[in-house]
Amino acid sequence: MNFHNKIVLVAGGTGGLGREVTRAFLEAGASVVVTYRRAEEFAAVMSAAERTGATPPEGVAADVTDPAAVEKVVADIVAKHGRIDILVNAVGGYAGGTSVWEVDPRIYDQMLQLNLKAGFILARAIVPVMIRQNQGWVVNIASKAALDHAAGGGLYAASKAGALALFDSLAAEVKPYNINVNSVLPSIIDTAANRKAMPGANFSKWPKPEEIARVILFLCSEQARVIHGAAIPVYGKT
Ligand SMILES: NC(=O)c1ccc[n+]([C@@H]2O[C@H](COP(=O)([O-])OP(=O)(O)OC[C@H]3O[C@@H](n4cnc5c(N)ncnc54)[C@H](OP(=O)(O)O)[C@@H]3O)[C@@H](O)[C@H]2O)c1
């Protein structure tokens, strides 16, 4: 896939999945801007690019649940590059292991902020740019948990189900434009954080972030224009 001349924003582009999405777009010739919060995560992405001689991404520190911060990120990208072709939202987080009646209400806020509000704030700032240019692709990373509501993960599942609904509505709204909106649904991904959290698991069964990144790139290609408003499972055989 060739993404030369494409301007890509990967929110959470330094995370376990996000950094592979970033790498894949860069390898395919795109100009990539990542948002991050922790400077050391961005530094790790930059030094990995340096080690391999790959083109590094641009980085901007921003809390993507903050509308003013996101509007500034978007305005700065448009001022510099003139457009934003692709948004991948890889911001999110998990909290679980507790029955609904035992969950601290602060977890409710955290899950909805990370898994639902971030995507909303990003979409409301970027989709108008895509409408103006009559071109765009949006991929939101949801989760298998959006459909499969297991015990002990109620707030996570609710936040991801909300995100799925939000991007589904957005997909219906942008039908008049040349903009594609889809969600992808990972289950457990083979990230360093998951290996650390579940040292006894069989890692070989877990989809690799780079495998999911390839699906995301395809969804953001002209070849995938026919896929719109979909929730794509990317959990292999787990
Ligand atoms: N890992 C899995 O097994 C799994 C399974 C199903 C679904 N997912 C979903 O896949 C997506 C990526 O997961 P992941 O494993 O890559 O997670 P991750 O490693 O924790 O990465 C999340 C990224 O989001 C950033 N972030 C968090 N809060 C933010 C905020 N308020 N503003 C800006 N950036 C923020 C983090 O930045 P900092 O690190 O700098 O804070 C990090 O770069 C998430 O939506 C997750 O729910 C993951």
- Listed residue (215, 180, 208) closest to 87, CA to CA: 180
Distance CA 183, CA 114 (A): 16
**Distance between Cα 176 and ligand 1 center (Å):** 31
Q: Is residue 1 part of a domain?
A: no
Q: Is residue 57 part of a domain?
A: yes
Q: What percent of the chain has pLDDT over 90?
A: 95
The number of distinct structural domains making up the chain is 1
- Categorize the per-residue pLDDT at 1 as very low, low, confident or very high, splitting at 50, 70 and 90: confident
Amino acid residing at 52: T
Shortest-distance Cα residue to atom 42 of ligand 1: 15
Nearest atom, ligand 1, residue 42 CA: 40
Terminal-to-terminal C-alpha distance of the chain: 27
The predicted-structure confidence for 83-130, as pLDDT tens digits, reads as follows 999 999 999 999 999 999 999 999 999 999 999 999 999 999 999 999
Q: Which domain holds residue 45?
A: 7-233
Q: Is residue 128 part of a domain?
A: yes
Distance CA 86, CA 179 (A): 9
Nearest atom, ligand 1, residue 144 CA: 6
The predicted-structure confidence for 129-180, as pLDDT tens digits, reads as follows 999 999 999 999 999 999 999 999 999 999 999 999 999 999 999 999 999 9
The DSSP call for residue 115 is I
Q: What's 65's domain CATH number?
A: 3.40.50.720
- List, in order, residues 6 or more apart from 47 with CB less than 8 Å away: none
Nearest atom, ligand 1, residue 93 CA: 47
- Categorize the per-residue pLDDT at 49 as very low, low, confident or very high, splitting at 50, 70 and 90: confident
Rounded to 5 degrees, φ, ψ at 146 are: -65, -25
Q: Is residue 225 part of a domain?
A: yes
Q: What is the pLDDT of residue 191?
A: 98
Rounded to 5 degrees, φ, ψ at 25 are: -65, -40
- The verdict on the CB of residue 162 being under 6 Å from ligand 1 is no
The predicted-structure confidence for 185-233, as pLDDT tens digits, reads as follows 999 999 999 999 999 999 999 999 999 999 999 999 999 999 999 999 9
